[in-house]
Amino acid sequence: MTDSNPEIVRAAILEIIENQMCDGTPPETKQTYDRLIADGHSHDDSMKLIGCVVSSEIFDVLKENQPFNQERYVAALHALPRLPWDDGD
């Protein structure tokens, strides 16, 4: 088993989402979840969509070697169900 096991990564991302929703930091995570549910997405689909935003932000942080960008993260949450990598060319 390696440290990059997809199930470990998936569990860590879901834990991040759950912590954000419980702590209300940022509040937009829970607001986005509630909006997605109200729009007819299932719990699992809503968590997957938010997880895509989390993983995209983690990727950007690692790629650019910069700190977490809450403004970019919140903007990506607001754009759901459009995914961060669907922004165009």
CB 85 within 8 A of CB 56: yes
Whether residue 30 has pLDDT greater than 50: yes
The pLDDT assigned to 88 comes to 55
Q: Is the pLDDT of residue 35 over 50?
A: yes
Specify the higher pLDDT residue, 89 or 17: 17
Whether the upstream peptide bond of residue 26 has omega within 30° of 0, thus cis, is: yes
Q: Do residues 37 and 49 lie in contact, with contact meaning Cβ atoms separated by under 8 Å?
A: no
Summarised one tens digit per residue, pLDDT across range 64-88 is 898 999 999 999 999 999 998 885 5
Do the beta carbons of residue 44 and residue 37 sit within 8 Å? Answer: no
> pLDDT at position 1, please?
45
